[in-house]
Structure 1
Amino acid sequence: MSGKVAQRMHINLASPFILEMWAIIFLVEFVKGSLLVALLPVYMENILGISVTVVGFAFAMQYLGDNLFRSPSGWVMERIGYRWTMTGALLLILVAVGLIIYAKDAVWLSVACLILGIGTSPLWPCTMTGITELAGSTESGSSGAAMGAVEMASLAGTGIGPIVVNFLMDHGGQSYHSMFLVLMGCAAAVAAVALLLPSRIGTHAPHAIVRGGGEGPAAVRGRGNPLESLKRTFHQVRTTLKVSRLLFPALFLQAFAIGLMTPVVTLFARSELHVTPNQFSLLLIAGGGITVLALIPAGKLVDRIGTTVFLNIGFLLAAGSLAFFSQVRWLPLAFVAVALVGISYALILPAWNAFLAKQVPKGERGTVWGLFLTLQGSGMVAGPVISGKLWDSVGHSTPFLASAFVMVLLFGLHLLIVHRTKRKL
């Protein structure tokens, strides 16, 4: 091993793979945020006259496609590489947006949402696997800063997309058809960026990235009977995935805590805080903006200090700030509470992903990341369902108190996982 490679302590955030994935994540989340937040709910209900129930079903199809195909897409990526897995999937986003333009009924719009979900499904398995590969070939083995960078791209795309679309429609006089064409252009651009991705990332050097058609071990492994290859994969995952069983409920709860808040935060702001739309936008900026700005610095500190301190502080701070927010009825205090929630998530997100990266075995990283992300995604489905029932049946503050309680559970689970891991070493 060369001296230059040996001296590399952390992942280079300016490396081609990180920059390419940053651009892909931003554009994909820009398109998804624009469609799911700003365009489709109003377009389907007001323009096409589709009921809110059907709109919800169509959105559920998007989630279903995304979540169910994460593990298979990770498995496919292990066989054919990053470039063609991502390019093929991202072209489906282009197909989905094109279908939305011409769809006039609930069935075809639901099909389009399902295709959109399938198209986005490899995004996070490929990203997490690539970062884990790069981290494994550095001296520190840390991935916090890189995880923070990609989370920042995700949050920025999700937030900027609806803002840009609403601005163009409100002030630029653009039609829905025009905006869908703009998003088709974004989808084409993101597929083009995916063509720049490497086929594979070397396992022994931080920049040993195969950009040609060279065949690594995974390529050889992918030959032959696909069913036999799949059986070998499941056997390898079972034999190499040596993690605490407590990690699996923790994966579910981490997303479940977010899912509890997602559907009711707007309702809470309007019914309990009585904010105007502009004030609500400022609240979102206070929370989301702080999270985005703090992600990379927090990630770099995670690489230096480790994940344990950040997760312990982050979970407890999130629990306290969410409980505080649930009781606030004065707007200035609401800004303080939201800012604290933003800080807590800036601590949690890069540390949590770096913590998971340490649990992923070297064999079948894509498949294991797909499994982890599927478990997390199931929490995002259950959260809104439980949240709505708590809101209607118990009280408006209850979903936030429940989310705070889940954060306390995560704090305890994390302590137990770390303790058991140290005891085994």
Structure 2
Amino acid sequence: MLLLALILLLVDFVRGALLISFLPIYGEKVLGLSLDVIGIAITAHYLTDTALKLAIGYLLDRFSVRFVVHTGLLISLCGVVLLGSAIAPWLVITASALYGIGVSPIWIVCLMKVTDERRATKMGFLYTIWFVGLGAGPIVCNWLLDTSARFTYFLLVALSLAAWALSLLITNRTVQTVRTVPLRSQLAILGDKLRQLRPLLPGMILQTTGAAMLVPILPSFAEKQLGIGSSQYSFLLMAGGLCTVAGLMPMGRLSDRVGGKKWFLVAGFGLFALTLYALTAQPPVWACLALAAVLGCSYAAVLPAWNALLAAYIPPQQQGLGWGLMSTIEGIGVMVGPVLGGVLASLHGETPVVVVSAILFGLIGLFYFVFGQRMDGL
């Protein structure tokens, strides 16, 4: 598990650096790409990542982890290398899509390693590893971009190469020994689970849509609307990231002890919506730092409880296919969000994107407040 966590750390460091900082900043300022093209490139990444999760889950139930992860990380390495020679928008979009293909397996594998005992606590640990990588990537990338975009690019290539090399050390065996079940039978089982899961579908899609809308416009929003430069933007990300990381494990343990997860979701989504909307008032830098910290705490309240809740709907004998399907459903919002955010920002500016995102999170919190008692596990 530690080896997989290290690979996940490297993969998400590069992912965060590419999608949150390198593509939006380098793409707009150096390549001259518009925000809608940047949004499409980010969507291409999540489109391939999401589209393949179901197939990868199926493969992980049949082939060794090392084969699937190693092959995927090789493809992601090719995507990062291609980005360095991208001179046209379609090449940037292609490189981003290739990276999405490659990083799909590692997250599914890590989810399959989490056992039922104290699941929310373990999910908190896993999300801590994930968020450290995803948060540190753009922070380091922002600082380095002020010095040398080329060095930043080569660092991302080196880290992608390191993740690929480490995948050779993974034990060459399947994730678990299971009775082989025909795909049609597995889908029938998952279909039954999905019917039970229908009350959660609004949250699964809308929360990822709201978050993904912000990805292509955040650096531009911070600079143009908040008057924050690249270095200060890094401190904002650091404040939010550190509070998220610090809160994930305690929130996971608290969720395990309390049992019910409704109020974690209601409070987390509601506070996230209010805080996000407060940023549109263009507060001073010190207030932005405080708001970023609150965003991080509210996010930490949601993540462990949310994924522990989803785990109740995964058939024990179809872990790979189950988590692949869940990730695919959540990925619908991730695919749509960047395009919506990029197009809306190109037409009306960055502030309306933040407002719409805040509204979506507020609606999710309201939905679970009203209907939470009708859902299993809440």
Bin the TM-score by the shorter chain.
0.7 to 0.9
What's 1:245 paired with? 198
The alignment partner of 1:364 has SS state of helix
Q: State how 1:117-128 maps to structure 2 within 5 Å.
A: 117-128=100-111
What's 2:218 paired with? 265
- Asked if residue 375 in structure 1 is aligned to residue 329 in structure 2, the reply is yes
For residue 382 of structure 1, report the CA deviation from its aligned partner. 2.7
Q: State how 1:381-420 maps to structure 2 within 5 Å.
A: 381-388=335-342, 397-415=351-369, 418-420=372-374
Q: Encode CA deviations 1:132-184: one digit per residue, 9 max, x unaligned.
A: xx12xx3xxx322222222222222223234445555655xx672x6555434
d(CA) in 1 for partners of 2:84 and 2:342?
Answer: 31
1:128 touches 1:357 (CA, 8 Å); kept in 2?
no
Change (3 A) 1:129 1:414: farther
Which has the higher mean CA deviation after the structures are superposed, 112-121 or 324-333?
Answer: 324-333
- Asked if residue 343 in structure 1 is aligned to residue 316 in structure 2, the reply is no
- Asked if residue 148 in structure 1 is aligned to residue 102 in structure 2, the reply is no
Q: State how 1:195-214 maps to structure 2 within 5 Å.
A: 195-198=168-171, 199-200=173-174
1:291 touches 1:342 (CA, 8 Å); kept in 2?
yes
The alignment partner of 2:375 has SS state of helix
- Asked if residue 190 in structure 1 is aligned to residue 171 in structure 2, the reply is no
d(CA) in 2 for partners of 1:331 and 1:194?
Answer: 41
What's 1:27 paired with? 10
2:202 touches 2:364 (CA, 8 Å); kept in 1?
no
What's 1:280 paired with? 233
- Asked if residue 300 in structure 1 is aligned to residue 253 in structure 2, the reply is yes
Structure 2 residue identity aligned to 1:277: S
The alignment partner of 1:249 has SS state of helix
Identity across matched positions, percent: 31
Rg larger in 1 or in 2? Answer: 1
- Asked if residue 157 in structure 1 is aligned to residue 133 in structure 2, the reply is yes
2:274 touches 2:358 (CA, 8 Å); kept in 1?
yes
For residue 67 of structure 1, report the CA deviation from its aligned partner. 1.6
Q: Encode CA deviations 1:247-279: one digit per residue, 9 max, x unaligned.
A: 122210111221233334333333333234333
d(CA) in 2 for partners of 1:261 and 1:165?
Answer: 18
Q: Encode CA deviations 1:260-317: one digit per residue, 9 max, x unaligned.
A: 3333433333333323433333222222221122212222222222333322221222
- Asked if residue 217 in structure 1 is aligned to residue 142 in structure 2, the reply is no
Structure 2 residue identity aligned to 1:115: L
For residue 21 of structure 1, report the CA deviation from its aligned partner. 2.7
d(CA) in 2 for partners of 1:36 and 1:409?
Answer: 26
Unpaired runs of at least 5, structure 1: 1-16, 203-215, 222-228
Which has the higher mean CA deviation after the structures are superposed, 302-311 or 20-29?
Answer: 302-311
What's 1:77 paired with? 60
| Structure 1 or 2: more helix by fraction | 2
1:71 touches 1:367 (CA, 8 Å); kept in 2?
yes
2:226 touches 2:284 (CA, 8 Å); kept in 1?
yes
Query: Which one has more relative contact order, counting CA pairs under 8 Å at least 6 apart?
Result: 2
Counterpart pick for 2:286 among 317, 326, 332: 332
What's 1:67 paired with? 50
Structure 2 residue identity aligned to 1:93: S
d(CA) in 2 for partners of 1:407 and 1:304?
Answer: 26
1:54 touches 1:106 (CA, 8 Å); kept in 2?
yes
For residue 354 of structure 1, report the CA deviation from its aligned partner. 1.4
Structure 1 residue identity aligned to 2:298: S
Q: Encode CA deviations 1:303-344: one digit per residue, 9 max, x unaligned.
A: 222333322221222233223333353333333322221211
Q: Encode CA deviations 1:217-265: one digit per residue, 9 max, x unaligned.
A: 25x44xxxxxxx4333322322454524121222101112212333343
2:345 touches 2:352 (CA, 8 Å); kept in 1?
yes
Report how many aligned residue pairs link the two structures.
375
The alignment partner of 1:336 has SS state of helix
Change (3 A) 1:240 1:115: same
Structure 2 residue identity aligned to 1:156: V
1:327 touches 1:397 (CA, 8 Å); kept in 2?
no
d(CA) in 2 for partners of 1:396 and 1:108?
Answer: 25
1:325 touches 1:338 (CA, 8 Å); kept in 2?
no
Unpaired runs of at least 5, structure 2: none
Q: How does the TM-score come out when normalised to structure 2? A: 0.84
What's 2:313 paired with? 359
- Asked if residue 290 in structure 1 is aligned to residue 263 in structure 2, the reply is no
d(CA) in 1 for partners of 2:247 and 2:106?
Answer: 23
Structure 2 residue identity aligned to 1:404: A
Change (3 A) 1:258 1:42: closer
1:30 touches 1:157 (CA, 8 Å); kept in 2?
yes
Q: Encode CA deviations 1:8-44: one digit per residue, 9 max, x unaligned.
A: xxxxxxxxx2x22321211001222333445456666
1:256 touches 1:380 (CA, 8 Å); kept in 2?
yes
For residue 118 of structure 1, report the CA deviation from its aligned partner. 0.7
For residue 106 of structure 1, report the CA deviation from its aligned partner. 5.1
Aligned-residue RMSD, C-alpha: 3.3
Q: Encode CA deviations 1:40-83: one digit per residue, 9 max, x unaligned.
A: 56666777x57446555444432222121111111111111433
d(CA) in 2 for partners of 1:263 and 1:55?
Answer: 6
